[in-house]
Amino acid sequence: MTSVLLLAIAFVRHNLWILIMLLLWPWLFSGALSFEGETQISDYAANLQQESFYGILIIGFMATAALNNEQKSRRIIAVLSKAVSRGEYLASFLLGVFLVALGFTLSVAIATWIATLRIHPSLVHLPVFLLAVLISALWIASLSLMFSTFLPPLLTTICTGLGVALTLLGLHSLNPAWALLAPTSSIFLALAADPLSSSWRLGWLPLTTAMIEILVFLAIGAWSFQYRDLTRALE
Amino acid sequence: MAQPVLQYESVSKIYRSLLTRRKHTALQDFTLAVFPGKIVGFLGPNGAGKTTAIHIALGLNRPSSGRGSLLGKPFGDVGSRRRVGFLAENVAFYHLSAKELLHLYGALNAVREPALSHVVRQLLNKFDIADVGDRSIAKFSRGMLQRVGLAQALVNDPDLLILDEPTSALDPASRLTVRSVLLRTREAGKSVFLSSHLLSELEMVCDRIIVLNRGRVVLEGRTRELLESHEQCEVVLRQARNFAVPPSAKDVTSNNGELRFNVPRQTQREVIEAAWSAGAELVSVNSVRRTLEELFLETTDENVRHQGPKA
């Protein structure tokens, strides 16, 4: 577990500029909104949705090229020649993505809270909304990590995109069975609704199922990663 | 007999292109055992399969067939890697400071504080990077990176040190440091598996030499025995004015009244008798000592490449 945490921190430090951008971005947008004259609650809600949407995509797709970058730069050799298993190595990327996503959602939460102090909207659903953002980002990251263990980066991105698209397609034919199989479709549906409205709802079942799926994707990725040669170039 | 610290048993590695299914055999029926307290030199031309063999031992690649063990455990075992120090040929690390890197790699090999900080300080001093220990390695030269690489390979006080071209970018002073590290590692009863193209370095420190060519072992043995030629001997004569040097003699030199030349081992007796008959005094007859470079060129295709194709 120590190895996973150490490598996750190294991953975050290596992607420091993305983290800084994600931490500052909500403040810039919330600040810009606050300086506009007559800002409505709906403007903040739309801003929050937009931030969350792009945040999910940026964070989720951070993992797409992570493994390939490490392999291309040969840093993977220095790490996996130590007492680190491939499963731990893969988990460290996911933990790194989690840390970035946590920083982003906290930044969004504080920026939104401060920006909306004047107009007192209902922020009661904001924690669950941001938890859904975090889990969605992790779900995409774990899906792309799984694909990246056996596919090249371009195909990884395409397959991850297809995975997200399929769940979005599920929004149109939402029935209980689909919601259970593709929990992110319910989550995406909730994220598309106004998070500052008192009627906003998201049950715990899709969140829990999504978390289980994240672990399943990680386990499949770790299993497939076992069989991969890490250095293929001729000396 | 002690258990080998590194053992390959008929290991082959075939790379297949995903699209064309074209095959490339990197290692073929590779068998080798490295025993404790030995420095084993591993050489071969580029593309011979040296790095592939090392990566298989560390579990980075999987063999197509065959098996092997690292410190008594099958290849790929995480626990055994805790007792291994490894420096890759093209060293690449996270862009942290040298000190942070050594702490990270030490911690990954389960070295805990306060011992870790102590070892890191020692290694930074040993490899002369203490002054720049807090600077990001992104600004380091290749030689400095290689010193960081050597330091990280030693941070866990390994039982087996696997070094792939450890001195290629180092200055002479740093090479001396590496040589003393290798010799001290052997004195401590630990083993070193050393792949290098710097043949003079290998000749100085290695107990055994393995030459790999096109994925196969073409020569293996004790360094001293390998460098002693069994085909040629050097004859030294005095007062050899009336002696006619035989046509088979090579490298004939005359200095301070001494005549030296090399002759094939099978003509040695004949030549000595001829020298005595001519009234010459026989000073010595010794096996010719070859250099590792000569041996390398003899046993690999490099000789052909070096001299060009025969007419």
Confidence of residue B45 (pLDDT cuts 50, 70, 90): confident
A71 has a chain B CB within 8 A of its CB: no
Dump pLDDT digits (tens) for A180-202. Answer: 677 777 888 888 888 777 788 88
For residue A232 the two structure tokens come to 């293929």
pLDDT, position A84? 94
DSSP state of B2: P
Contacts of A75 in chain B (CB under 8 A): 92-94
CA A183 to chain centre: 15
3-class SS of residue A112: helix
Helix (H) or strand (E) holding B8: strand B6-16
Q: How does the average pLDDT of chain A come out, rounded? A: 86
Q: Is B81 on the interface with A (CB under 8 A)?
A: yes
Give the mean pLDDT of A131-158. Answer: 93
Inter-chain CB proximity A81 and B94 less than 8 Å: no
Is B104 in contact with A10 (Cβ distance < 8 A)?
yes
Query: pLDDT band at B309, cuts 50/70/90?
Result: very low
Asked if A231 has any chain B CB less than 8 Å from its own CB, the reply is yes
Task: Give the ipTM.
Answer: 0.82
Phi–psi pair at A34, nearest 5 degrees = -65, -30
pLDDT over 60 (residue B303): no
| pLDDT tens for each residue of B75-89 | 989 999 999 999 988
Contact between B153 and B126 under an 8 Å Cβ cutoff? The reply is no
More confident residue, B266 or A81: A81
Average pLDDT, stretch A45-54? 88
Count of pairs with CB atoms under 8 A, one residue in A, one in B: 84
Answer yes or no: do B78 and A14 touch at CB < 8 A: no
Top pLDDT among A210 and A117 is at A210
Lowest model confidence (mean pLDDT) among A75-89, B49-63, B134-148? B134-148
pLDDT at B154 over 60: yes
The two structure tokens encoding residue B20: 């064309």
pLDDT of A135 higher than 50: yes
Would you say residue A77 has pLDDT above 60? yes
Most confident among A201-205, A212-216, B16-20 (mean pLDDT) = A212-216
pLDDT for B215 equals 87
- Whether B256 shows a pLDDT value over 90: the answer reads no
B145-169 b/e (C-beta count within 10 Å ≥ 16 → b): bbbbbbbbbbbbebbbbbbbbbbeb
Query: Region A13-34: what's the mean pLDDT?
Result: 87
Q: Which residue of B has its CA nearest to A12?
A: B94
pLDDT confidence tier of residue B298, bands split at 50, 70 and 90: confident
Q: How far, in whole angstroms, is CA B283 from its chain's centroid?
A: 35
CB contact under 8 A, A77 and B60: yes
Instruction: Give the global pTM.
Output: 0.83
B134 with B121: CB under 8 angstroms?
no
Spatial CA neighbour of A45 closest among A174, A199, A168: A199
Contact A86, A222 (CB under 8 A): yes
| pLDDT digit string, tens, across residues B188-210 | 889 999 998 888 888 888 999 99
Q: How confident is the model at residue A174 (pLDDT cuts 50, 70, 90)?
A: low
pLDDT, tens digit, for every residue of B101-137?
999 999 999 899 899 999 999 999 988 888 898 998 8
CA distance A194 to A41: 10
Average pLDDT for chain B: 86
Neighbours of A2 (CB within 10 A): 11
Q: How confident is the model at residue A102 (pLDDT cuts 50, 70, 90)?
A: very high
B104 touches chain A (CB under 8 A): yes
Which pLDDT score is estimated for A65? 84
Cβ–Cβ contact B28 with A under 8 A:
no
Higher pLDDT, A124 or B154: B154
When mean pLDDT is compared over A48-62, A169-183, B56-70, B266-280, the highest value belongs to B56-70
